[in-house]
Amino acid sequence: MALINLKRTINSPVFSQNIVVTRTEDTWEGGRVEKTETIFKMSAIVNNIKESELNQLPEGDFSTGVMVFKTSEPLYKTNSSGTSDTILWNNKNYRIIADADASGYGFYKSYGAYIAS
């Protein structure tokens, strides 16, 4: 069965917004970790999380300030080669905390938690 490719929709100026990504890569040099930051722009569809993705507590539902970023290129959470990508969107910073590979449909889905700047 053929999959619907949404890459054109993700990159469409009608649906997407510009985000600024800061990617940090770690390398070992002389017994120390050296961090290298790369800053670049990309298009993304940005949404709030769904009700089912809220933290549900006995006292009530609690939103953690998480946004969903759908992009045509992957965003990275912390791994062995670096720290999570940081996203600047609407003058607020978000750190990628989870990701999902939907590249079969032409996009990547990442969850970013709000971080105070």
The pLDDT of residue 60 is: 56
Question: What superfamily does domain 7-115 belong to in CATH?
Answer: Bacteriophage SPP1 head-tail adaptor protein (2.40.10.270)
Q: What is the mean pLDDT of residues 83-95?
A: 94
Burial of 4 (0-12, 13-18, 19+ CB in 10 A): exposed
Distance between CA atoms of 65 and 54, rounded to whole angstroms?
A: 9
Token pair listed for 17: 């917004």
Domain ranges of the chain: 7-115
Q: Please check the confidence at residue 25 and state whether its pLDDT lies above 90.
A: no
Distance between CA atoms of 37 and 27, rounded to whole angstroms?
A: 11
Q: Which of 106, 72, 67, 108 is nearest to 90 (CA)?
A: 67
The pLDDT of residue 111 is: 92
Q: What is the mean pLDDT of residues 50-78?
A: 75
Confidence band, pLDDT 50/70/90 cuts, at residue 27: confident
Distance between CA atoms of 69 and 44, rounded to whole angstroms?
A: 6
pLDDT in tens, 37-59: 999 999 999 998 876 665 555 55
8 in helix, strand or coil? Answer: helix
Q: What is the model's pTM?
A: 0.83
Higher pLDDT, 65 or 89: 89
